[in-house]
Amino acid sequence: MSDECQSFEQFLGREIVVDLSSLYVIAGTLVGQDQHYLILENADVHDLRDTATTRELYVHEIGLHGLAANRSRALVSRTEVVSLSALDDIIH
């Protein structure tokens, strides 16, 4: 197994935060992937245009309080992903 696959595998089944190149942040449980999408369940799709909250503050808040899912399942385009981290790796 390649290092890339091993590093991705560590996130499966965990709550993650995905920073996108667009004005969205998505958090949820990573349940899979294919060549085009990350597959998240119990996801919180957050549009930063709808709030005065910064990306960093929003991520910090869900790290402290947990995420509030607004989608039972979400497909996230891999081409939009800037970073991916486990929710429990967020520094408070």
In a domain, 3, yes or no: no
pLDDT at residue 76 in the model: 97
pLDDT at residue 34 in the model: 94
In a domain, 77, yes or no: yes
Q: Which helix (H) or strand (E) holds 5?
A: helix 3-9
**How far, in Å, are 9, 16, 46, 71, 84 from residue 58 at the CA level?**
26, 14, 9, 17, 15
In this predicted model, what pLDDT tens digit does every residue of 39-51 receive, in sequence order?
999 999 999 998 8
In a domain, 60, yes or no: yes
In a domain, 90, yes or no: no
Find the domain containing 41 and state its range. Answer: 13-84
Domain of 57, CATH number, reads 2.30.30.100
In a domain, 65, yes or no: yes
* Cβ(15)–Cβ(27) below 8 Å: yes
Q: Is the predicted pLDDT of residue 5 greater than 60, yes or no?
A: no
In a domain, 56, yes or no: yes
Q: Is the predicted pLDDT of residue 90 greater than 90, yes or no?
A: no
In a domain, 59, yes or no: yes
Domain total of the chain = 1
Q: Is the predicted pLDDT of residue 13 greater than 80, yes or no?
A: yes
Q: Is the predicted pLDDT of residue 63 greater than 90, yes or no?
A: no
